[in-house]
Chain A
Amino acid sequence: MNISVVGLNHKTAPVETRERLSIRADELTDTLCRLRNSPFINEGLILSTCNRVEVYIVSKETERGIDAVRQFLYRQPSDLHPKSQPLGISKEVLDPCLYTYTGGDAIRHLFRVASGLDSMVVGEPQILGQVQDAFEQARVHQSTGMLLNKTFEKALSVAKRVRTETKIAQRAVSISYAAVELAKKIFSELDQKTVLLIGAGEMAELAARHFITHKVSAMMIANRHYDHAVALARQFGSTPILMEDCVLGMTQSDIVLCSTGAPHYVIHYEDVLKVIAARQNRPIFLVDISVPRNIDPKINTLDNVFLYDIDDLQLCVETNLQARKEEALKAEAILSEEVERFTQWVKSLDVIPMIVALKDRAEAIRQMEVEKVVGRMGAITPRERELLDGLTTAVVNKLLHDPLTALKEETYSSNGNLMLEATRKLFRLDKK
């Protein structure tokens, strides 16, 4: 039994190919059935996200199993381009995009995927949920068996370990979320804080949503068109205010998100001077996500004012990404340790039954042959029978001694799987 994975991801395949292969939730039942129909696939699982399509299988004959998956992928029907390519995707197009890992490498790959190390944004948290879902679906459809179940359970627990023991998933990597993170460095708790959203730029709106999920106590929305403000305020469950009342609104707000289309400053130095006095020096966090900028940069020289423009937020994100990369190195070390331990276990699953099977088979042959000879010889004394048994047993044991020793020793080495498979084929252990 050997685990393999065949798949493609954002690094190996363009979006045109990925979307051709991606499997919708409602198609999954059929697809899993189709996969399991192959005689060379004992267990199967499909992981399909927007950045990757991967098929995990367990097969007795690794090469044939992998080939079956490839065939399966070529024939994956697509309703995106039903007319142009009704019969799936050509080998020439798909092959260069596909990667294949077997044994320990396949396990390592899965662990890396689940931990977010293989993701476009390293450490992104969604992938863990997606792996969990794919596993759940496969289990519901009974397409996995003991080995894939154990492997995926392990992958999920390893991913959680990576998350708690490294900072890989900490720190914001999007501009809108970076604003929330910075606000927490100023205010610690956001639940007593008020946000003022000026303008309706997309990024500011996104940031506003993040602040709402962090349970800010209130939000005000100002817009050049009051009705826009009213509409957006209704959506957010917040208060619309007039653009003229912005400065007044700022005196009550701790966080100001500004993103208007105005080609000039909307918030001036003098305004903020007044605001600071009215706020009795309570710190205020100004986020200017507009280009051209809407908040006079000179304002940052004022005490207790923290002004961030889009470049500052970008810098913050880049610092965090760099930190995530450093953490990824630590995560890889954890993975190596876990992969090592798990592959040992997987191999032990194979080698012990194989040794038993090999011995049984040899013993069966020996007994059969002895019986044949005894039949032909007619009556023999117990002493002769004993000698015959002794001779044949000695021959069998001597013959098997070296292969069995090699099996025990080599199983845990890098080509252990090859050894197991070769043994199985050489002695025809599958055919009882």
Chain B
Amino acid sequence: MNPLYSALLFYLVAATHSLASLWRSDAHRAISHMSRWHKITLLFTVVGFVFHTVVLLTKVGEADFVPFATLGEAVSFFSWALVLIFLVVELKYRVYVLGSFVLPLSFLSLLSSGTFSGGSGALGVTTGDVWPRVWLGLHTTLSLSGIVSFAIAAIAGAMYLLQEHFLKYKQFNTLYFQLPSLDLLDRWNKKAILFGFPLLTLGMIFGGLWARDFLESLWSYNNPKMAVAAVTWLFYLLVLHGRITVGWRAKQAAHLAMIGFIGAVLIFVTLT
């Protein structure tokens, strides 16, 4: 059985299952009490995740240990890391509703990763020096991890805006009861950006080192990816600064996290 298809299949079931739980009035039970419904979602996610890990390890092996150099692989890694974070958060906070947001995104990104099958020469991997390859590997892994963190911040932001809407307009529906408190969502948003920003920063530094060795210049003006990355990086720097000093929190912070993620997606799009 093809591990990629298996992973997709299991993610699909987990995603639809957790989406369906939004309409179940008893799916949210006590936050500390895991219902059978959630166990099923979790089981499918874990099995899918194992297959997905196999896929990624094989790819990295094939690429001579320069990971995620193609857009397809990068998107696949993005999907994998999202699921990993979902599983960690599940275990720590037991906020099962996160799955309803994360799993569909993971599934769709993994599904789309198959369509971006550019050759691994896209980033010009050379067989020569060892250092450029190390830089490149660190660059891709760290930047991608940063982007995944920003995705989590954006998801927390979206959940915040939903919950804020329910609280403001007194809509006590199933989703309202399943979503965690505004305060917790705001903290996730902040933590995710605080975590992702240094990763992206390091990723960009290694990218620069690789560019210095491979393209023989740190910065290239006609490289849209570099420009988008720089703008995104500046944006998140501003968001963090605003959060700490001016009090950009709560609803504003939720909006900012979602806008910032558009930049992160653009980095992907310009990865060709």
Residues of A that sit less than 8 Å from B by CB: 164, 167, 170, 182, 184-189, 279-283, 300, 303-304, 306, 308, 312, 315-316, 319-320, 323, 326-327, 330
Contacts and interface: CB of A to CB of B under 8 A. Distances in A.
Given A167-B29, A316-B170, A323-B25, A185 B250 contact: no
Interface of B: 25-26, 29-30, 33, 163, 167-168, 170, 172, 176, 180-184, 246-252
Contact of A187 (B30, B181, B248): B181
A281 B252 CA distance: 9
Contact of A304 (B26, B30, B250): B250
A289 to B, nearest CB: 15
A281 B181 contact: no
A188 B248 contact: no
B167 A164 contact: no
Contacts of A304: 250-251
Contacts, number: 62
A388 B197 CA distance: 102
B254 to A, nearest CB: 11
Contact of A282 (B26, B180, B247): B247
A188 B181 contact: yes
A326 B27 CA distance: 13
Contacts of A167: 26, 29-30
A185 B167 CA distance: 8
A315 B252 CA distance: 28
Given A167-B26, A280-B247, A282-B250, A185 B168 contact: no
Given A280-B246, A283-B250, A323-B25, A186 B172 contact: no
A282 B249 contact: yes
A315 B248 contact: no
Contact of A185 (B163, B247, B249, B251): B163
A431 to B, nearest CB: 54
Contact of A164 (B33, B168, B172, B252): B33
B56 to A, nearest CB: 35
A407 to B, nearest CB: 41
Contacts of A330: 26
Prevailing SS type, chain A contact patch: helix
Contacts of A186: 167, 181-183
25 contacts: A164-B33, A167-B29, A184-B181, A185-B167, A186-B183, A187-B181, A188-B181, A189-B183, A279-B247, A280-B247, A281-B249, A281-B250, A282-B247, A283-B182, A283-B250, A300-B168, A303-B250, A303-B251, A303-B252, A304-B250, A306-B167, A308-B170, A315-B170, A326-B25, A327-B26
A303 to B, nearest CB: 5
Contacts of B183: 186-189, 283
A410 to B, nearest CB: 38
Given A188-B180, A188-B181, A189-B183, A281 B247 contact: yes
A343 B29 CA distance: 30
Given A167-B29, A184-B181, A326-B25, A316 B247 contact: no
Shortest 10 CB-CB contacts between residues of A and residues of B: A280-B247, A188-B181, A319-B172, A188-B183, A188-B184, A187-B183, A304-B250, A312-B170, A303-B251, A186-B182
B70 to A, nearest CB: 42
Contacts of B248: 281
A166 to B, nearest CB: 8
Nearest to A280: B247
A283 B167 CA distance: 12
Contacts of A323: 25
Contacts of B249: 280-282
Given A182-B167, A306-B167, A306-B168, A170 B30 contact: yes
Question: Which residue among A167, A279, A312, A327 has the maximum number of chain B CB atoms within 10 Å of its CB?
Answer: A167
Contacts of A279: 247
Given A280-B246, A281-B249, A281-B251, 11 more contacts: A167-B29, A170-B30, A185-B181, A186-B167, A189-B183, A279-B247, A281-B248, A281-B252, A282-B250, A303-B250, A316-B170
A303 B251 CA distance: 7
A182 B167 CA distance: 8
A327 B180 CA distance: 21
Contacts of B167: 182, 185-186, 306
Question: Which residue among A184, A282, A283, A303 has the maximum number of chain B CB atoms within 10 Å of its CB?
Answer: A283
Nearest to B167: A306
Nearest to A312: B170
Nearest to B169: A300
Contacts of A281: 247-252
A325 to B, nearest CB: 11
Contacts of B30: 164, 167, 170
A170 B251 CA distance: 29
B98 to A, nearest CB: 15
Question: Which residue among A279, A280, A300, A316 has the maximum number of chain B CB atoms within 10 Å of its CB?
Answer: A280
Contacts of A308: 170
B189 to A, nearest CB: 13
Contacts of A185: 163, 167, 176, 181-182
Contacts of A188: 180-184
Nearest to B184: A188
A420 B251 CA distance: 70
A323 B176 CA distance: 13
A330 B35 CA distance: 14
Contacts of B250: 281-283, 303-304
